[in-house]
Structure 1
Amino acid sequence: MGKTEDDILYTILVVDDEQPVRESLEMILEDHYCVFMAKTGEQAMRRLKKQDVDLVILDVSMPGMGGMETLSRIMGLNRARPEVVMLSATDSARLGIKAVKEGAFDYITKPFDSNDIIEVIRKAMAKRALEQEVHYLRSEMEKLGGFGNIIGKSPQMREVFRLVEKVSQTGSNVLIAGASGTGKELVARAIHSQGARKGGPFIPVNCAAIPQELLESEFFGHEKGSFTGAHERSIGKFELANRGILFLDEISTLRMELQAKLLRVLQEREFNRVGGAKLIRVDVQIIAATNMDLKNMVASGTFREDLFYRLNVLPITLPPLKDRPGDIPLLVNHFLKDISYRVNRKAPKVTPEALKLLEAYSWPGNARELENVLERMVALSSGEGSIGIEDLPVEIATTEFSSNTQTGSSDSLLEARDRYEKMYVLSALRKTGWNQSEAARLLRIHRNTLLKKMAAFQLSARKEQQ
């Protein structure tokens, strides 16, 4: 069988102290893969420290450094780790099973069938190819300024991405602080998708959206007949989140008595359903989020200090959008593509003048407000052309002038009006490709009025192109 370009990309290291086994595997694999041999675990580790290998076929029982110790060292490599398939005699299959639990992809018993070997390797390489693709796509997203669904390239967001990567590898509780609209739930979901609990559930609860008298039942569930209207047993969010993550948004709104019950669950990892006697144990990681300063609430006596420290094991603070204006073009591009896809329209461009105003605006509602503004503009647009100053809400379109007023600009009202009008007319002309009739229609003025304003402001396509 001839080698194919795809096959030869993968490198396999066979580690076995028996020469007949090594030779047999080499004959089976050499037509499909680039194969190297090692007699001992020590030899294998020396090669792996110098060369990237895609897969190791490793004998369980070898003199010197045995297969299990070699596997442990492979799993501890700093460079890209290969997949490992263990070879074990029938009487040592127990070790093969143990090896899989410790990180090996699979194990095969001796004597082996060549078809079994090839099939296991094919599956291992398919897994490796998928992981490489995910790694590539993730790195490409980061180049574009993204981390999962979180968008940003600013130093503040890079620090957030760094923390998310670190936090996702632990099972400790996390407290995410940030103003409304900064993306606290997106960060919580990124921690879930990147971490060891990604195979478990992600259960979000907005503590502010549920009536306080129902929150205990919402958290812990209730038994049938435990209160008026409890017609059947209900499973609470803690049970639903077992082996996963429970995201508690707006944690600052919890009443003190419920804070005490939440603290007990965090300490004991067990609770009773409302009206129930049976203790229920759970394994849940808590990610809490708040737009309030919990330290101040602790100082004022409205939030329990012991609960704060239980939640604040790994803190992440999200910056407001006004502190990272350089991320706004990335967010605008992301939101416009997403919104346009949902409404089945071509994503519009944003003129440089309009983008400048979007970057200058303070965004009190943060990224959520930006998304809502863009969605409104896409909905009101004709579906053609670009988004210019004339499409922006008045509070954003006048940002520059509001800013000048606040900083004590010496412009008179007439000068400020003329400067804004010039920008507005220029934006309409650029949006229509300097088609005067189209620009006049867009501005809802007569074409002759437009010509007079172009003369007054010294606007011309020729000057634009110079």
Structure 2
Amino acid sequence: MSRASILVVDDDAVFRAALCRYLKGEGYATTAVVDAESGIEALESHPFELVLTDLRMPGVDGVEFIGRILKLDPNAVCIVITGFGSPERSVEALKAGAFWFVDKSYERIATFGPLIEKALENRRLRSSNQQLQRQLEARYGFENIIGESDVLRQAIDVVRKVADTDATVLVLGESGVGKELFARAIHYNSSRSEEAFVPVNCGAVPEELLESELFGHVRGAFTGAIRDRIGRFSAANNGTLFLDEIGDMSPALQIKLLRVLQEREFEPVGSSKTEQVDVRIVAATNQDLGALIREGLFREDLYFRLNVIPIEVPSLRERREDIPLLVEHFLHIQRRRHPGVEGITSGAMKRLAEYQWPGNVRELQSLIERLAILRRGNWIDESDLPHQVGGPPPAIRSPSLPPDGIDFSSVVDAFESDLILQALQTTGWNKNQAANLLRLKRTTLVEKIRSKGLTPSAD
């Protein structure tokens, strides 16, 4: 069985014949031609996995020939056969796109095998990477952001316009709305799509480690730094760095980030060597950066650098008409994992559409997965839904006014504390989700929790 198809291009009939005998003996499907023009004709009529070409031929030489091959097939892999005394031309061939070069020696033909296999493996890896790239581009295409609501379409329109630029983007929205999905859509629809997309959750990395995480460190920079380590900026070079929860970054580190945005350079922790970097920044937050600036927790100059293109991702409450589309999308995924799920009843769908969704799309996705596993029948109905989902929010009852009156301030304060504790209990003390439930800014909620001395033990 043929291992691969190889085109040999050489005007030396004796060497050409010897090389073809060797290749055929190794199991390769081999075609031979005498010059570059014949080689182009062969490539136009038949795809070859590898081209072995002489560097010096009448008419078009090997370097020019390589350029024409790659124009015809950008994935082509070429090995150049060079004679004695042509190292400069060999380097030119490599610069033109050749994989490598070999000496034109009858005695060495039998040693070509490992290099040929390495070149073919390079093509296979490149092809595999391109296939993965196409899958990623399809997965994060604009059409895969589910929803038809006006507010969502407006956000997607901004993403379409900004994707294929190098502009810094700030993605805003509540927890769970899909900010990283938007960031990936920006990357995979840009000219940087074949380079790395590197996400960093600034709120999930301890403050004392975040600088090393972003910029890397050298051995001995701090206790435990037993070897050099590259940071996320270096890993994302020529690609996109996604800084999630940027509002959680300390002011000290904000200064260093600002410098990278301005100068495109940084020093790893413990190093005096400056490194250059070409990275597109997409940042995201569920916090009110304006409020953080007023409180002295976020630098205004960094905000202006990040907020070149702001994109507001709407909450699920703001696009309720998209809930049926999202439910069907998540059900489609679950049907592959849990056969037998036929759908959801109109009554259950109505309750889902009426729910407040403090956790937004992420909460809906998790609920659909849970329902697909725990459902009682083939159809998900209202009886399958957890009690907190659907229907209008419970009526809030105010205390009765006694004949002798009340201390208004203390009653209101206690009432407010009770509401805040209920929201925190419901969300497992997730302050972002609790703030969403109470329609408060996160910073406002955090301040109320602090001033009232509320803790989990106060539940």
Are the equivalent residues in 2 in contact too, given 1:152–1:331 (CA < 8 A)?
Answer: no
- Compute the displacement of 1:182 (Å): 3.8
Q: Distance in 1 between matches of 2:261 and 2:38?
A: 48
- Compute the displacement of 1:218 (Å): 6.7
Deviations 1:390-432 (A, max 9, x none): 2223565559x99xxxxxxxxxxxxxxxxxxxxxxxxxxxxxx
Match of 2:76 in 1: 82
Alignment of 1:218-297 (within 5 A): 239=231, 241-244=233-236, 246-254=241-249, 258-271=253-266, 278-283=272-277, 285-291=279-285
Letter paired with 2:48: V
Are the equivalent residues in 1 in contact too, given 2:5–2:50 (CA < 8 A)?
Answer: yes
Q: Distance in 2 between matches of 1:202 and 1:36?
A: 44
Deviations 1:329-383 (A, max 9, x none): 333333676xx6xxxxx5662524278559856755343112321344366558x
Give the alignment partner of residue 383 of structure 2, picking from 384, 390, 409: 390
- Compute the displacement of 1:18 (Å): 2.6
- Compute the displacement of 1:301 (Å): 11
Distance 1:139 1:268, change over 3 A: closer
Match of 2:332 in 1: 333
Give the alignment partner of residue 106 of structure 1, picking from 66, 82, 100: 100
Gapped regions of structure 1 (runs ≥ 5): 341-345, 403-466
Give the alignment partner of residue 181 of structure 1, picking from 171, 176, 179: 176
Match of 1:445 in 2: none
Q: Distance in 2 between matches of 1:285 and 1:166?
A: 14
Match of 1:58 in 2: 53
Are the equivalent residues in 1 in contact too, given 2:172–2:313 (CA < 8 A)?
Answer: yes
- Compute the displacement of 1:204 (Å): 1.5
Distance 1:308 1:204, change over 3 A: same
1:332 aligns to what SS in structure 2? helix
Q: Distance in 2 between matches of 1:83 and 1:164?
A: 36
- Compute the displacement of 1:121 (Å): 3.7
Distance 1:232 1:84, change over 3 A: closer
TM-score by length of 2: 0.58
Are the equivalent residues in 2 in contact too, given 1:152–1:327 (CA < 8 A)?
Answer: no
1:242 aligns to what SS in structure 2? helix
Match of 2:457 in 1: none
Q: Distance in 2 between matches of 1:47 and 1:240?
A: 45
Q: Is 1:351 aligned to residue 343 of structure 2? A: yes
- Compute the displacement of 1:110 (Å): 1.6
What RMSD over aligned residues (CA atoms) do the two structures have, in Å?
5.4
Distance 1:49 1:225, change over 3 A: closer
Alignment of 1:43-442 (within 5 A): 43-45=38-40, 47-48=42-43, 52-77=47-72, 81-92=75-86, 95-96=89-90, 99-100=93-94, 103-111=97-105, 113-132=108-127, 135=130, 146-147=139-140, 152=145, 172=166, 174-175=168-169, 177-179=171-173, 180-185=175-180, 191=187, 195=193, 197-198=195-196, 202=198, 204-207=200-203, 239=231, 241-244=233-236, 246-254=241-249, 258-271=253-266, 278-283=272-277, 285-291=279-285, 307=302, 310-311=305-306, 322=319, 326=325, 328-334=327-333, 346=338, 349-353=341-345, 356=349, 360=353, 365-377=359-371, 380=374, 387-394=380-387, 396=389, 398=391
Match of 2:424 in 1: none
Letter paired with 1:85: I
Q: Distance in 2 between matches of 1:232 and 1:35?
A: 56
Letter paired with 2:65: T
Gapped regions of structure 2 (runs ≥ 5): 395-459
Match of 1:449 in 2: none
2:201 aligns to what SS in structure 1? strand
Q: Distance in 2 between matches of 1:102 and 1:379?
A: 56
Are the equivalent residues in 2 in contact too, given 1:105–1:124 (CA < 8 A)?
Answer: yes
1:56 aligns to what SS in structure 2? strand
1:17 aligns to what SS in structure 2? coil
Q: Distance in 1 between matches of 2:61 and 2:242?
A: 44
Are the equivalent residues in 2 in contact too, given 1:176–1:316 (CA < 8 A)?
Answer: yes
Distance 1:66 1:393, change over 3 A: farther
Letter paired with 1:88: T
Q: Distance in 2 between matches of 1:289 and 1:187?
A: 11
Q: Percent identity?
A: 30
Letter paired with 2:384: D
Are the equivalent residues in 1 in contact too, given 2:169–2:308 (CA < 8 A)?
Answer: yes
Are the equivalent residues in 2 in contact too, given 1:71–1:99 (CA < 8 A)?
Answer: yes
Alignment of 1:448-463 (within 5 A): none
Q: Distance in 2 between matches of 1:314 and 1:20?
A: 64
Q: Distance in 2 between matches of 1:285 and 1:217?
A: 17
Distance 1:123 1:222, change over 3 A: closer
Letter paired with 1:244: A
TM-score by length of 1: 0.57
Q: Distance in 2 between matches of 1:203 and 1:140?
A: 19
Q: Distance in 2 between matches of 1:314 and 1:183?
A: 17
